[in-house]
Amino acid sequence: MEAAQCFKSFFDFFCHHRIIQEAETDPFKQNSKRHKLFIVKSVLILVACILLGIYGKSFEDAFIPNRSCINRMINWVCLGAMLMTCFIVAWETMVASREDVKIWNTFETIENALRLCNQNPDETLRKYQRVYKIIFFTYFALLCLIGAILVIEFKDMDGPLVDFIVIFELLSIVDVNRVLQIVMYVRILTCYIHHLKEAVRNAVLSVSMGNDPDGPNLEPIQTQLRKSSACYFLCIKAFRLIQDQFAWGLFVVCLKFSIILWNEIYWTVYRAIMETSYELYCLNVVPYHFVYFSFTWSCECLTAEITWLSQLLYELDLNKASTYIKMRITQLMLLLEYKVFFFHTFGVCRVSYHLIVQYAISGATKVSFIAQLMIDFYNEMK
């Protein structure tokens, strides 16, 4: 399988060797022994989250910077979002761990269908893999940068602030690992849609150059469109599997992103009003923001490929097409109108650039209200 070969190092990293490649008829199977070890690791993460949630209040002074009642409340909301996200993502990863096999087997089926359409995704997959590698290692580089800053500024920083940042980064590794896995799947699926678009483009050009709508030369074009339609259905199936496997994780990740964005805006305003340096309250979330923006960008790239495919079909002159080709083209147009390739979090939000802007406006609105209260209180204290 081309995708498993191009993304082999990441395939092994995310699947922890739980999935092995065997026969051609069923290339991916579960490795029972490795899967049990993965379950044990997930249980340990869940236990750690539960213990931190139960006994966290007892160690409040150790890792919750206590500057005021509002500060303490916002920090607890942020910590609660981190714990909830880590717990739900770890639980979902454990429960849905067997679904990865279905996704990779569907990818294998899509690649076979693309070959029938005279499309070889090998070179394009390598290109997408290089872009994904940049995203993956940039995140870890940002983590190392945060660690280096903590070491350098350790003596000049409050102890609770350092502990809060360390806890944030450690808990975020769990859900960031999950988001990076989704990004990998989305990049692979985007590559498949790109080659499907090329197959449809060839068929459209062949129809546009034809003179006889019912001539014998249209038989290969009809076959090409039929295979392209089958391939598109497989892409829908793969996306549905990804959506179902990561549904709860995406929901809490989007919720956590909105909360930490609110937290970041709050501390920026607080620093401006109180003239106090709290840069690391904003700096420590840079790796998380980078991964979330990369995920959103990947989803937008997938959507763009679907949009280009839809525009390509509308450029076809149906007067030069046979009845069968018109039926196939109309079928594809209707499928594209359904807007299937969007990540919906139980109808609450849809992953897109618009969602990020919405969160930013919402966070700024909340913070502006709190800031006015802080300004009034600060003026009264003078």
Tell me the per-residue pLDDT of 337-374, one tens digit each, with 9 for 90 and over. Answer: 777 888 887 777 788 888 888 888 877 777 777 767 66
Q: Structural domain of residue 145, as residue ranges? A: 2-381
Instruction: Tell me: pLDDT of 200 over 60.
Output: yes
Band (212; pLDDT cuts 50, 70, 90): low
Region 210-230: what's the mean pLDDT? 70
How many structural domains is the chain composed of?
Answer: 1
As a whole-number percent, the residues of the chain with pLDDT over 90 amount to 12
Band (171; pLDDT cuts 50, 70, 90): confident
Lowest mean pLDDT among 7-21, 54-68, 85-99, 216-230: 54-68
Region 260-283: what's the mean pLDDT? 67
As a whole-number percent, the residues of the chain with pLDDT over 70 amount to 82
The 3-state secondary structure of the chain reads CHHHHHCHHHHHHHHCCCEEECCCCCCEEECHHHHHHHHHHHHHHHHHHHHHHHHHHHHHHHHCCCCCHHHHHHHHHHHHHHHHHHHHHHHHHHHCCCHHHHHHHHHHHHHHHHHHCCCCCHHHHHHHHHHHHHHHHHHHHHHHHHHHHHHHCHHHCCHHHHHHHHHHHHHHHHHHHHHHHHHHHHHHHHHHHHHHHHHHHHHHHHHHHCCCCCCHHHHHHHHHHHHHHHHHHHHHHHHHHHHHHCHHHHHHHHHHHHHHHHHHHHHHHHHHHHCCCCHHHHHCCHHHHHHHHHHHHHHHHHHHHHHHHHHHHHCCCHHHCCHHHHHHHHHHHHHHHCCCCCCECCCCCECCHHHHHHHHHHHHHHHHHHHHHHHHHHHHHC
Q: Which carries the bigger pLDDT value, residue 146 or residue 2?
A: 146
Region 182-210: what's the mean pLDDT? 85
